[in-house]
Structure 1
Amino acid sequence: MRHRITPLNFIKKNWLLVGILCCIFLAGVYPKLGSKEGPLHTDYTVKYGAVFLIFLISGLSLKTDSISRTFLQYELHFFIQVFTFLFIPLYTQFFVKTLSLFGINSWVLKGLITVACMPPPVSSAVILTRAAQGNETAAILNSVLGSFIGIIITPLSLLFNLGSTTIVPLFGTIIQLTTTVLMPLLIGQGIKAFTSFRGHRLPLNSVSQCALLFVIYTTFCDTFLVPETGLSALDVIFTVFSVLLLQITLMVISFKASRYLKKLFSAQDIIAIVFCSTHKSLTLGIPILRIMFHGYSHLSQISLPLLVYHPTQIILGGLMVSQLKDWVHAQKIKRPPV
């Protein structure tokens, strides 16, 4: 007997997606509230509040044996990092050459190439992997690893792909990653190791997803407050369409390629691969663009693809979470544990 799909059942099953859409709506209504200059002081409440909380909960929920086991999954780490820093820039070059045939603004196309060179984020990919019941430990490890690698690789990749380079704030980035990612992870693991607290009676996963929604809300607030880009409405529409098409094709390629290597990767690994290898960081990306194109009149045009890419990856991820979770369960039924 089929269960009747009601609005309430849909919201319960896809509440993260519904939450993302609500965040977009609220940010559009009054973006100043959650902007960097707003009363919520998002420079502190996001980095040292919401993101810190997300990784503290991850530290509480991760099993120590899974961490040591994931460290040894060299093929998984290699696949994600090569896909992120090598395949995506090369594929985007081909993608951009195809789009140039349709007369799309050349600065927008340069912006797409710039996005392709960016490192992964350290929050959205992790929380979406956990929501889809993927390999959360691998997602955390590769997001952090990718951010550190990006400090060196991203400027070199920009030099190779655009003929321009920039100096990434090395010390500041390391301090930020340490205080907002590594420190809360270690604190969470320390609480597990030296106390009896396990958080089983607390809705830690829901709290973590609410923290992500706050990050998403503030991101959209800043996005809606971006000044005029100097692009026509048609250029903006083409940018949104191009970013959406690029992300969908990258997610399909990463999913198909990792499934082809199913002897190396489990279903949970594949979920981590799909999110970690295709997501790009707005937090590190915007400062890099501002340094690289400081004084350029086309800075806003180059920044537009990254501003579109970041929320799009969250929306697409939210749409896919429920389907990927069902797929993981189906794979478990097909291949029961030995």
Structure 2
Amino acid sequence: MLRRLIPDPFLLFLIGAVLLATFLPAQGAFAVLVGWLSTATIVLLFFFHGAKLARDQVLAGLTHWRLHIAILASTFVMFPLIGLAASHAAPSLMPQPLWIGVLFLCALPSTVQSSIAFVSMARGNVPAAIASASASQMLGIVATPFLMGLLANTHGGTGGLTGIGKVAAQIFIPFVAGHLLRPVIGGWVDRHRQLVGLTDRSTILIAVYGAFSAAVIEGLWRQLPLSSLAVLFAVDAILLAFGLGATWALGRLFGFSREDRITILFCGTKKSLVQGVPMAKVLFPGPQGGVILLPIMLFHQMQLMAGAFIAKAYAKRSEAD
């Protein structure tokens, strides 16, 4: 499974969507069509996510409350505070939209698929990983817009609290509807996971194309120098390294078992591209949306590469023990 993630083939499709938007941006009536299509796929995406989330998977691991508090605190407290501190410590290093993108990255929930895959490979606590990652995704639907309302406004940006109504209509309501209908359609969704996965990918690609089209028309590549992209790469790398180090230290400080420390390490540092791109489209519908997506797109590939390396090292150590 991890061989299909590293290197991530989907990265090529993301780059293709950005290049297509650069040379053939959606304009006029076609841009309106892309916008409607993006909204429709976002609604369908979160409907499927609600339908495929088994309630017993979440409840099964929630008894390990110390572990889940540590993971959720890493995701929704530690990362936002790091991003906020960095954005205020060196605001001139990058344009404001990139810093807003970094704050948005820090406010995102954990991933589900890759977190569980890495925890499993590293011989961690898989049931707890399933529970924490699933709970993080559910909480993120509300927590991410709320956090962005606080973080972006402190940095002079917009979004977050002003977009909660749109988030409720396009994300939260479809998610709840899908979950309530799971007894009826859950079997069909479980049997057609490839179709659900295709919905994930198509939603991201359409949203990325639409966001970057608007940004390119507004002069994205003329306004964003290569030096800013180089700084963004360094900021993302430092953010990931700090997160990995802090979650590892947190696990040891509070005396968690080896399996639980592995779970904290992976679930506490992953950030969801699948949930981030559609949510950014809702929260930041203007031309700056394409710029705001750059940090999470870059961080996504970094976390996969670092996660694969660390998981393999843990697996070898487990085999040696």
When the two structures are superposed, what TM-score results if normalisation uses the length of structure 2? 0.71
Contact (CA 8 Å) 1:52, 1:181: kept in 2 or not?
A: yes
| Equivalent position of 1:323 in the other structure | 309
Give the AA of the match of 1:315. Answer: Q
Runs (4 or more) in structure 1 with deviation over 6 Å come to: 163-166, 277-280
| Equivalent position of 1:222 in the other structure | 210
* Matches for 1:206-245 after TM superposition, within 5 Å: 209-226=197-214, 227-230=216-219, 233=222, 235-245=224-234
Please give the alpha-carbon distance, in whole angstroms, between the structure 2 residues aligned to 1:305 and 1:186.
36
| Equivalent position of 1:81 in the other structure | 76
Contact (CA 8 Å) 2:45, 2:203: kept in 1 or not?
A: yes
Structure 1 residue 281 and structure 2 residue 272: aligned? no
Contact (CA 8 Å) 1:166, 1:288: kept in 2 or not?
A: yes
Please give the alpha-carbon distance, in whole angstroms, between the structure 2 residues aligned to 1:61 and 1:316.
32
Please give the alpha-carbon distance, in whole angstroms, between the structure 1 residues aligned to 2:213 and 2:264.
37
| Equivalent position of 1:92 in the other structure | 87
1:266 alignment partner, SS class: helix
Matched-pair identity in % = 9
Deviations 1:86-131 (A, max 9, x none): 221112322435x2xxxx6xxx1x2233234437446x83333244
Give the AA of the match of 1:272. Answer: C
More helix per residue: 1 or 2? 2
Give the AA of the match of 1:309. Answer: P
Deviations 1:201-237 (A, max 9, x none): x584x55544332233223322442333446658332
Structure 1 residue 261 and structure 2 residue 247: aligned? no
Contact (CA 8 Å) 2:50, 2:175: kept in 1 or not?
A: yes
C-alpha displacement at 1:74, in angstroms?
1.9
Match of residue 159, structure 1, among 153, 170, 178: 153
When the two structures are superposed, what TM-score results if normalisation uses the length of structure 1? 0.68
| Equivalent position of 1:5 in the other structure | none
- When Rg is computed on C-alpha atoms for both structures, the one with the higher figure is 1
Q: How many residues get paired? A: 300
* Matches for 1:104-119 after TM superposition, within 5 Å: 108=95, 110-118=96-104
Deviations 1:174-207 (A, max 9, x none): 344433434434544x479xx9x6998x584x55
| Equivalent position of 2:137 in the other structure | 143
Contact (CA 8 Å) 1:126, 1:136: kept in 2 or not?
A: yes
1:37 alignment partner, SS class: helix
Contact (CA 8 Å) 1:247, 1:313: kept in 2 or not?
A: yes
Structure 1 residue 271 and structure 2 residue 266: aligned? yes
Please give the alpha-carbon distance, in whole angstroms, between the structure 2 residues aligned to 1:256 and 1:225.
37
C-alpha displacement at 1:306, in angstroms?
0.6
Please give the alpha-carbon distance, in whole angstroms, between the structure 1 residues aligned to 2:143 and 2:82.
15
Task: Provide structure 1 residue ranges, at least 5 long, that are not aligned to the other structure.
Answer: 1-9, 291-298
Match of residue 51, structure 2, among 53, 56, 65: 56
Match of residue 20, structure 1, among 11, 14, 26: 11
**Does 314-323 or 219-228 show the bigger shift?**
314-323
Contact (CA 8 Å) 1:243, 1:309: kept in 2 or not?
A: yes
Please give the alpha-carbon distance, in whole angstroms, between the structure 2 residues aligned to 1:128 and 1:275.
8
Task: Provide structure 2 residue ranges, at least 5 long, that are not aligned to the other structure.
Answer: 121-128
Give the AA of the match of 1:78. Answer: A
Deviations 1:218-271 (A, max 9, x none): 233224423334466583323322222221111111111111122344212211
Contact (CA 8 Å) 1:220, 1:311: kept in 2 or not?
A: no
Structure 1 residue 132 and structure 2 residue 132: aligned? no
| Equivalent position of 2:237 in the other structure | 248
Contact (CA 8 Å) 1:80, 1:273: kept in 2 or not?
A: yes
Please give the alpha-carbon distance, in whole angstroms, between the structure 2 residues aligned to 1:232 and 1:175.
33
